[in-house]
Each structure stands twice: as C-alpha cells, then as structure tokens.
Structure 1
C-alpha cells in the first residue's frame, strides 16, 4: 500500500502572512503617531498568531509513521516547529518554575539590576523636581526682611507721631523681620497712599493722621466734652491689601499686631504721665477713662480683603487642575486623531491637530470657568459683568499654552523614554505653581523665573478680576501668548522628531523580525 504523502509547507498561509507584514510595515514607516504604531503592531501580532495556528494545525495532522512523517524525537523537541517553548511538550505551555529556581538565576539578576536602576532614576528626578516646591517655602520667615512697611506721619512729628515712629523702628530692629521706612507726609495725599498700596508699591502703610496729637490733647483739656467723644482708633491707621498674598499678609499682620499691642501699652504709660503732670488726672479718669487706658489703638484698613476661602480654588489649587486637564485633552483625543492620521498629508495633519486643540481647550476652559460661576464667585469687582468672559478667555489661552507644551513634551519623551512623561507632567505642575502660589519677592531670587510662566501670570490676572488688585493684565496676557507662539513653532519640529524616531524603531523591529524568522517581540 502506497504511503500517503503530506505537504509540510503551508504555502498559502506563509504567503498571506508575508504580504500582510509587508503592507503593515509600509504603513508603519509612513505614520508618525505612536498610537498608530501600537495599533498596527497589535494587528501584526494577531496575524502572526493566526499564521502560527495554521502551521500548528498542519503539523499536528502529520502521520506518526511513513515516508512523510517526522521522527518522534523531532516532534517532541521544543522549538518553532513544536509550537512550544523549551521544556514544554509539542504545542504545550511553558514550564513554570519557582522564583528561586536555579534556571532563573540570570533573570533574577536582571530584575534586581533593573529595580535598582529604576529606583535610582525615580529618586533622582523626585528629589530634583519636588524640591522646587519645598524650596519655595525655605526660610520664609527670614525673607520677611524684604518687606518694607511705610510710616507716613501727617501729625508732623508731634506727640503721637514721634513716639510711634520711634517705637516701630526700634521693634523692627529687635525682631529683625519686617522693616519700616519713614516717608515725608508732604509728598502724599491720603487717597494717593491708598492707590500705592493697591498697586503694590508697598506692603502696607502706617498713616498717622494730622489730628492725632491735637485730638488727644483736647481730650485731656476737656474730658467731659471732647474726651467723652474721643475715638482711640482714629490717630493711626494701618493700610494694606490682603488679596495681594493672603499667606504673606498673615505674617505681616501678625507683626503689625505685635507693634500695635506693644505701642498701646507703651503710649498708655506716656499718656498717664502727661495727664498727671499737666491736667486733672482724677477728672480725666472719671469723665474719659479711655484717654488714659487706651489713648491710641491702631485701626486696620484692608483695602482688598481675601473674604472667601473658596477664592483659593481659582488663585491656587484650581491652577493644578487646569494643568492636568490640559494634559488629559491630548490623551482623550488620540484615538480620534488616528481616524484620519494616515489619510492626510503631514502638514495638514499638524494643522488639524493644532486646530482641534484650540477648539477642545475653548470648551474645556468654559466648563472650568462655569464651576467658579456655579459656586457664586464674584467676577464684577474690576470689569463688571464682563469679568467672567475675561476670566474664561484667560483660562482658554493658558490651557492652550500649557497643553501644547505638554504635547511637545510627549512627542519628545515617547520615542526616547516613555516613563519619563510622568515626571514631565509633575515638573510642569510644580515648576508653575511654586512661584504662582506665593509672592516672588518673599522667595529666593531663583523663583523670579515665574514671571515668565503662564500659570503665574494667570494667577495674577485672576486676582485682578476677583479682587481688583494691581492691574498687570497687559503683561499677563503677553506672556501667555508668547508661550503659545513658542509652542506652535516647536510643534512641527517635535512632530518630525517623533515621526523619524518611530519610523527608525519600526524599521529596526522589521529587520529583527526578518532575521529571527518571525514577528518582532514587544
């Protein structure tokens, strides 16, 4: 009986696979998108698995004897023809061993080496990046020496003005923190001082009214009439703006309270001595005791109060969310971009990507702004009802500037070292918020870089809208637009870099597949 002959080569399957691989690799070379490469690589693996299944089916149907059969040893030996890895049966699963098996010694060494390298890399970048935020708080109390508080004595060096100026200067020297500067009252009007505080020419002003001493002396002379109407909070006024930096002003106001309480006690002794020597002390105590016990109480005049805790959301914490959402836009839209990525010219694809980013950020910034409107934040203090629209437009421009920066970072990081992308996001967040959350004059000089970042300028512009603080809107918008221009100029370059590196990677994988006789491993 003639032996039945079997064709061992699944010619049709091999040819089909080769044609498919050629088509896929051609597509890989022409695409510049990471997601497209990953999707096509998955297709290649699925086609290769189908081809392997076809080969396995033919091999398993081979006879066990006869001219067309392999030897038993050939069929049970592991390798490409058996469909299984070393140590496995024909087409069977790989042998599983214990983690401490001697066969896995080299792999354990590789794992240990990789773990050490990864931990060192992550630790290095963590210390380098997160330290930026820690540094923004470093020695803040010592940096209060940079705060200058003005003393403007309109009392012309009379009793109250002279004693307060001497006491404040002495205390500033002893505490070595906030410093005081005496300014000539003839150079300013009261309204002018209010404007200077709002425009941040000074952190605050002790204004000694021109009637401070005369009203006190009049109360001593006529305790029954003038003394009964005497207001202890009128002589000295501390003018400041809490909304400039609510945290820094907390420290400054603490110092001012110390000055106020100390001077109140000190000047009470002086007033008692003066009254007992020149006036009827018994009459004063009976008719107007406040003139002796509390002759001067410093009044606090907060021109721009930070009057709601929810305002922290738009001036500080909310800025972090804005950066993160800007990054999410890129991830969410990648599958959408891939629908047309391979069907249009590269230049058109770049224009499409930029246009879609502008449109997406336009609506995302609107949703972000609506949150503040829903919680009844007041946008009318500076620009009336147009304040909300300005707030929205600022958020839109900032999202575009930050989002495109992160897209450029993705184009650079993914082909080189994708895990580093997470640290790029952290660096973007911390690098922006460290100089934006707190006043740069009260930080180390290195944080002056914040004046050139979009988030710091958004924070300043938001304070202008919400509190009517110093108006630097022109500079703020200019810096944000400058970042947008730089992002647009860099985008074609980073896209080209991404395309070239991914094309080179695809060609290397194709060459490795051809050399190994199978599809590249991922």
Structure 2
C-alpha cells in the first residue's frame, strides 16, 4: 500500500508538471491550433519563434557564404574572360595556290595572330598533305583545328587569265574556301570562329580589290570586254565560300544538350529524395541490415533510372531530336543507355552525399553538383581557364559529347564517354557502401548510449522507489 501511494503521488506530480509546462508535447496536443500570433509571449511560441530565426539565419548565412560566394563564382569564372582565351582556338591555313591570292590570305591571317583576344592561325602541318575536301573534313571532325582556310589551287592564275583575256565569267568566291565544324561547339564557332573569319576576310577582300584596281588603272588594262564579261574580276576579285562540314542544324539539340542536362540531374535528385524518405519513413533504416539496405537502394536506382531515362529519351525523340541521322535506329538506343548511366552517375553521387548530409542539407550539395557540371557544358575547354579541365571527367560533358556524335556525327568518343560514366557509377557504389557503414556505426553508438542512459534511469527510479 505504501508503494502504491508513492506511485500515485509521483503520477500526480507528473500530471501537474504536464499541465504547467508549456513546452511539453502533451500541452501541444491540447493547445488549440491556429490560435497564436507570431509575437505572442507564451513560452511555447517564444521557443518556436527563436528556433525559426535560428534556422532562417543559418540558412541565409549558408546561401550567402557557400552558395553565392562559394559555388556560383565557379560558373561566373568559367565565362568571365572568354575572349581572353580566344588565342587557344587554332585555325589552319592551307595555301594550294602559291600566288598573290594565296600569299595575301595566308600572311593576313597568320600576321593577325598574337593578341589573346584573337584566334591563333598556323600553316597546316605539311605531313598531312591536305588537298581535298574529304581531308579537310576529316581534320575538322577529329578536332585538329577549329577552322581551315584553304586558298584553292590556281586561284591567282585563273584571275590573271580572266584579266588578260577579258573573257568571263569570273566568280571570286571560288578563290578561297573556309571550312568549319559548327557542331563541335555552336557557341564557340558562332561567337568566335565565324566572326573572326568574316572580319579578316572582309579586310582581305577590300585590300586586295584596292590593290588590283590600282594596278589595273596604272597599266590601263581595263577593257570594255572585261567589264562586260567579267566585272567581278575588277570590283571583287577575291571572295570566299563557307563550307560547314557539320552544321548545327537542329535547335532541339540545344535543349537536350544544355538545359536538358540539368533536367536529368533534377530527375535523379527527386528520385534520390523519394528513396531517402521511403526508407526512413517506414523505419527500414535501421531495421534492415546494412547489406540489405545497400542492395535495396542500388536495385531501386538501377531499375528506376532505366525506366525514367527511357521516358526522358522518348520525350526528346517526340520533339524531333535527330537520333537516327547517322546511326539509324541504334542512335536512340545509344542515347537511352547513355542517359541511363548518366542518371546513375549523377544520382548515385547525390545518394552517397544524402547519406552523410541528410535530406536537410542535400540541396546545398545539389547546387554545387549542378554548377561544377554546367560550368563546362556551354563552351569548349580552350575558352575556359585551365582549372576547368576537370570537366573531361564530368557526367555532363560526356553525355553532351555523346549527343553531338549521335546527332551531328562529330568526333566519336562514345566508348570513352561510356567508360567515364561507368567509372562514376562504380566509384559511387563504393562511396555509398562506405558511407552507409559509417552512418550505421554512428547510429549504433548513439543507440547503445541511449540504452545505457535508459538503464541508468531505470535503476535510479528503482532505487528511489525502494
């Protein structure tokens, strides 16, 4: 009876504490919802308000220091001084003419090299013996140069024959052919290569035409038949033809190959968060063994990404992405499998980090993961600071290269692109395993400590009761 009285008294004291202590969860359950103002002075609202400000302040501090000044400058830095790296874009001059036209064009292009804001023009290596369009195309597709200016054989001789005979017709655009590979990097070719070629050729054309006019005027060799039959030989003796060996002629590829890369990452991220929530909400962690948890998450990602990448690929196909242009129906399959391993490379990295950072902090890593990938996706490495060479190993870059090869038949490095993505997958399987073991051990240590604390409390209560 004495023991019961003590227990009854202790229970009454606990109930009294529950009623008078506003921070207790039992009070929260009894407290009517939506009845307090943000500035109320009651203890529970004050505690909640204080916690709110701490979370907001901490988040804003992270956004300011980590995101704005830590991560975003990576992308800003990649495009900060693009034009100061233009000299890393190399162009070739091939003089098959050997006459006045060839010398004028070659000397002007090569003589203009030097400033960091201009392309570097070199005489094409003699051992390549470039003479035909097929050879020029092969060199550009294999990324030996960004542009090739070829002064066609007999250009000067043909002009002189027309000027001396007065017989036409004459078309100055047959004198020079400029070969480019736009699909290699449409941003670089349209923003750097083409403008420089057009500006330099315009200067050459104007100067050469003035020189020819002066020479013809001083010699009095401009006949009526020449002006009638071949007027371009007098007024525009030197021009060029542009030959785009790999035109970037599908606007939808711009979406697939830049913004679409970010969407692939977002899809992978949403899946990672869903798996994390599903695992923790049902207490599968820590109920299942570590090996079972690892097997479960890897099986989930491999299967879900296989399906999701298929639907993502079909979306691109539905809007006219030219997957079958060069590889036939295999082109779609190649892209699908590449999208699959890319999702795995991107998603498993996020999954490994969510194990360590938890779902609360993973958005900050997501920003970093997207920025370091997207910073090397818009422009070629020649235009970026040297530190961005890390991009060769990034999932975005290798997915992008595969898309260009499938759609435009650019340099084929699909085997290497797959190899790098698979290396990411293997690496992440290892990190997921190690991080899972680390987190599980930390959880077990906390669990043992809590059990010991509970046991000590029980012993104290029993001793007090006796």
> With structure 1 as the length reference, what TM-score do the two structures score?
0.76
Equivalent residues of 2:91, 2:121 under 8 A apart: yes
Cα distance change on mapping 1:209 and 1:452 into 2, 3 Å:
same
Residue of structure 1 aligned with 2:200, choices 234, 243, 259: 259
Equivalent residues of 1:84, 1:92 under 8 A apart: no
SS in 2 for 1:436: coil
Aligned residue in 2 for 1:385: 329
Residue of structure 2 aligned with 1:85, choices 18, 22, 26: 22
Superposed, 1:302-341 pairs within 5 Å as 302-334=244-276, 337=279, 338=282
Given the alignment of the two structures, is residue 128 of structure 1 paired with residue 70 of structure 2, yes or no? yes
Deviations, residues 20-69 of structure 1 (Å, cap 9, x unaligned) = xxxxxxxxxxxxxxxxxxxxxxxxxxxxxxxxxxx8xxx7xxxxxxxxxx
Cα distance change on mapping 1:340 and 1:506 into 2, 3 Å:
closer
Aligned residue in 2 for 1:233: 173
- Larger Rg over CA atoms: 1
Structure 1 Cα separation of the partners of residues 111 and 416 of structure 2: 39
Equivalent residues of 1:148, 1:181 under 8 A apart: yes
Post-superposition shift, 1:258?
A: 0.4
SS in 1 for 2:149: strand
Cα distance change on mapping 1:105 and 1:481 into 2, 3 Å:
closer
Superposed, 1:35-434 pairs within 5 Å as 79-80=17-18, 82=19, 84-85=21-22, 93=31, 99=39, 116-126=57-67, 127-156=69-98, 158-173=99-114, 176-183=117-124, 187-190=129-132, 191-223=134-166, 225=167, 227-228=168-169, 230-250=170-190, 251-276=192-217, 277=219, 279-334=221-276, 337=279, 338=282, 345-414=289-358, 418-434=359-375
SS in 2 for 1:247: helix
SS in 1 for 2:189: helix
Structure 2 Cα separation of the partners of residues 378 and 210 of structure 1: 37
Structure 1 Cα separation of the partners of residues 410 and 261 of structure 2: 19
Structure 1 Cα separation of the partners of residues 305 and 52 of structure 2: 42
> With structure 2 as the length reference, what TM-score do the two structures score?
0.85
Deviations, residues 332-354 of structure 1 (Å, cap 9, x unaligned) = 33465548667754323322321
* Larger displacement relative to structure 2 (96-105 or 366-375): 96-105
Q: CA RMSD in A?
A: 3.5
* Larger displacement relative to structure 2 (349-358 or 329-338): 329-338
Post-superposition shift, 1:464?
A: 0.7
SS in 1 for 2:39: coil
Structure 1 Cα separation of the partners of residues 319 and 47 of structure 2: 60
> Gapped runs of 5+ residues in structure 1?
1-5, 15-54, 60-73, 518-522
Post-superposition shift, 1:173?
A: 4.8
Post-superposition shift, 1:179?
A: 1.8
Structure 2 Cα separation of the partners of residues 313 and 345 of structure 1: 43
Post-superposition shift, 1:330?
A: 2.0
Structure 1 Cα separation of the partners of residues 171 and 319 of structure 2: 40
Structure 2 Cα separation of the partners of residues 248 and 162 of structure 1: 28
> What is the total number of aligned residue pairs between the two structures?
443
Residue of structure 2 aligned with 1:484, choices 409, 417, 425: 425
Equivalent residues of 1:460, 1:476 under 8 A apart: yes
Equivalent residues of 1:275, 1:281 under 8 A apart: no
Equivalent residues of 1:239, 1:302 under 8 A apart: yes
Cα distance change on mapping 1:107 and 1:376 into 2, 3 Å:
closer
SS in 2 for 1:376: coil
Equivalent residues of 1:315, 1:437 under 8 A apart: no
Deviations, residues 428-469 of structure 1 (Å, cap 9, x unaligned) = 111111112221121000000011122211111111111100
Aligned residue in 2 for 1:23: none
Structure 2 Cα separation of the partners of residues 192 and 116 of structure 1: 62
Structure 2 Cα separation of the partners of residues 425 and 341 of structure 1: 23
Deviations, residues 59-111 of structure 1 (Å, cap 9, x unaligned) = 7xxxxxxxxxxxxxx89x9622x36528999x974996873869899998877
Structure 2 Cα separation of the partners of residues 211 and 145 of structure 1: 31
Post-superposition shift, 1:118?
A: 3.8
Structure 1 Cα separation of the partners of residues 72 and 117 of structure 2: 30
Post-superposition shift, 1:376?
A: 1.6
Deviations, residues 388-439 of structure 1 (Å, cap 9, x unaligned) = 100101111111111111110010112xxx5321111111111111112221
Aligned residue in 1 for 2:463: none
Structure 1 Cα separation of the partners of residues 187 and 377 of structure 2: 12
SS in 2 for 1:437: coil
Equivalent residues of 2:294, 2:433 under 8 A apart: yes
Structure 2 Cα separation of the partners of residues 222 and 339 of structure 1: 94
Equivalent residues of 1:154, 1:185 under 8 A apart: no
* Larger displacement relative to structure 2 (282-291 or 184-193): 184-193
Aligned residue in 2 for 1:439: 380
Aligned residue in 1 for 2:391: 450
